Each structure stands twice: as C-alpha cells, then as structure tokens.
Amino acid sequence: MDTRVLGRDLTVSAVGLGCMGFSHGYGMPTEERETVRLLRQAVNLGYTFFDTAEVYGTSQEPHVNERLVGEALAPHRSSVKIATKFGLRFDFESGKVPLPLIPDSRPETVRRAVEGSLRRLKTDHIDLYFQHRIDPKVAPEEVAGVMADLIREGKITHWGISEANEDYLRRAHAVCPVTAVQNRYSMMARRYESLFPTLEELGVGFVAFSPMANGFLTGKYGKGAQFDRQTDYRATMPQFTDEAIDQNRALLKLLADMAEAKSATPAQISLAWILRKKPWIVPIPGTRNVERMAENAGAADVPLTAAEVQALDDALDGMEMSAVFGGSVVGKA
C-alpha cells in the first residue's frame, strides 16, 4: 500500500485500520485469538497504521483492545505505527448506549494512562498519542506541556487531538507541535472541512474516523437492518433507520454509479473521495473481515480525479440526507 506522511515525519499506510470494533461498539467482541489473527492479516495486506485507545473494551475488561493490538503487532513492531488515546473513560454504569463519555486530561491522569498503554501494547514507545476528547477543565497548553515531556522521555514520538477545533489546536500546537487531529469525517459528516486550511497552515495531518459513516456508505444496509441494542451502537444511529434509507437513496445511488464507473465498490469510492481531498488525510475504517480489509486497502488505488471529487462535492452539497451519528453536512451544526 502507498504511504502518507502525517505532520512533519510520521509515515503511515494510506489507509489505516481502526481497531475499536474488535472489542467495542459493533456487537459482541471478536474472540481474542481471532482478533490477533485478523490484525496480523492486516499487516500482511499492507496496513502499517493501527488505531486503538485505552478505553476500547468491555465493562469486564475496559482495556482489552490495547492488549490484543499489542499482542498481535509485537512480531511486527518495527514496521508498524500504533496510535492510541488518553483522556477519556466510558460510563459503563449508566446503562446507556452509546455509553456516555467522561473526559479527564489532568496531567496525573495522563501519566498513569501512558504507562498502562505502553504495558498493554508491549512497546517502549507510542507512535501517535491522541487526546481522545477535549477536557474543558484542562487548558490545551497544559496538555501540550505533558506531551512535550513524554516526547523528551521517549515514551511517545508524536501526539494529536481527537475532535479538535481550531482554537484548541492552535493553542496546543504553539506549545508542542501537533502531528495530527483525528476527527469524524465522511460524505455524510463534513463539518471539519472548515478546519482544513488551518491544518495546511500548521502542517498538521488529519486522521478520518468513521469514514464510511459507521458502515452506512458501504451500501450494504437496507430497511429492516437489526442491531443488538446492548452491544451495537448502530442500533441508535439515525442513518440506519428505515426512514433514513429513503432519505439517503440519492446518496447511495451517487456512490453506486461512481463505483460502477470505476470498477470499484461504494466503500472504496467513499474512501477514495477522502484520500483525494488532501495528501495528508488518512482514513481509518474498521472491519473484522479480511475481505473488507483488502477492499478498503484497495481504495488507495481507485483513480478519482480532482474534477470527479469536485463533482461529488457539488452533488453532496445539494443533496438531501438523513441525520448521521456524530456528524453533519457542511454548513449545519
């Protein structure tokens, strides 16, 4: 797979693998040995960028995803880049789905978190350490100062911010240069395009999570789709309702038509559209299926031209869409 550079010097595969779904949020967790096998298969397919977090797990083992990523990638550690995250915990006691998020980026919390992540990931350094969500009680300068310390100590080599806004990014970057932001981005959730000029100015990369709107843009879900309300976040996501299927018919047709023209799949078109937006954007779709891993990796080879990307943008700008979990179209809150 081709590579891309995040920030000044972090080279990763053009498409990364979001690892959350193996353990959290998309139904019952994958069996542990199978998770390890699938992650190693991803390496064989050319993935060199793996994204996890200390909170991707279950109420029984809240940190299991990091542990399995560490085990799977240990034999390949010198050839892969691992991103993980700090500063967030899920409220497992709430009984709500999705689980409520509780931010905590106090320096003492971050210090404990990095040691736990290093241990579970079986590594002496983290390649990209993301603040999982902004903590309104801790100034960005204070968080960035801790990151600068961790870089000096060799515990991390790069850092980033997930769900960053411009003001927070600028203030943090002034203290310790940010390598990447990781924000939700897809054809259905485009509000962070307004951040792109700032990223370009500062030399900060963009890691796009949920690049297929939690799988909706694969075109594989129709009316009557059923999800486990206790373990699968899609059960409460608005884009998967029967009404949304009707509202998004034009969007799904746009993807299907372009896929046919390019001898590709709708999933590949949705990823190729992201990849052609900027050379410093890396999508991190998640999947627990080897065939889908190969399909997603192949998106990097889909030849979308700048004119075709613009035509897709123009169509999206004028198109009715349903609400989408965690995001919005351009110009809407």
Question: pLDDT for 157-202, tens place per residue?
Answer: 999 999 999 999 999 999 999 999 999 999 999 999 999 999 999 9
Q: Please compute the mean of the pLDDT values over residues 59-82 and round it to a whole number.
A: 96
Cα–Cα dist 147/166, whole Å: 19
Q: 12 and 1 in contact (C-beta within 8 Å)?
A: no
Has residue 328 got a pLDDT over 60? no
Has residue 14 got a pLDDT over 90? yes
Hey, which residues are catalytic here? 56
Q: Which pLDDT does position 323 carry in this prediction? A: 93
Q: Comparing 13-22, 175-184, 232-241, which segment has the lowest mean pLDDT?
A: 232-241
Q: Which pLDDT does position 69 carry in this prediction? A: 98
Q: Which residues on neighbouring strands pair with residue 88, listed in sequence order?
A: 103
Has residue 244 got a pLDDT over 80? yes
Q: Which pLDDT does position 99 carry in this prediction? A: 74
Cα–Cα dist 85/55, whole Å: 8
Q: 73 and 50 in contact (C-beta within 8 Å)?
A: yes
Q: Which pLDDT does position 90 carry in this prediction? A: 79
Q: Which pLDDT does position 306 carry in this prediction? A: 95
Has residue 333 got a pLDDT over 70? no
Instruction: List C-alpha distances in Å: 204 to 112, 164, 209, 282.
Output: 27, 12, 16, 12
Cα–Cα dist 208/97, whole Å: 23
Tell me if residue 4 falls in helix, strand or coil: strand
Cα–Cα dist 253/238, whole Å: 19
Cα–Cα dist 122/72, whole Å: 10
Q: Which pLDDT does position 327 carry in this prediction? A: 64
Q: Look up residue 268 and give its amino acid.
A: Q
Q: What is the mean pLDDT of the chain?
A: 94
Q: Which pLDDT does position 230 carry in this prediction? A: 86
Q: Please compute the mean of the pLDDT values over residues 103-108 and round it to a whole number.
A: 96
Confidence of residue 292 (pLDDT cuts 50, 70, 90): very high
Has residue 297 got a pLDDT over 70? yes
Cα–Cα dist 270/273, whole Å: 5
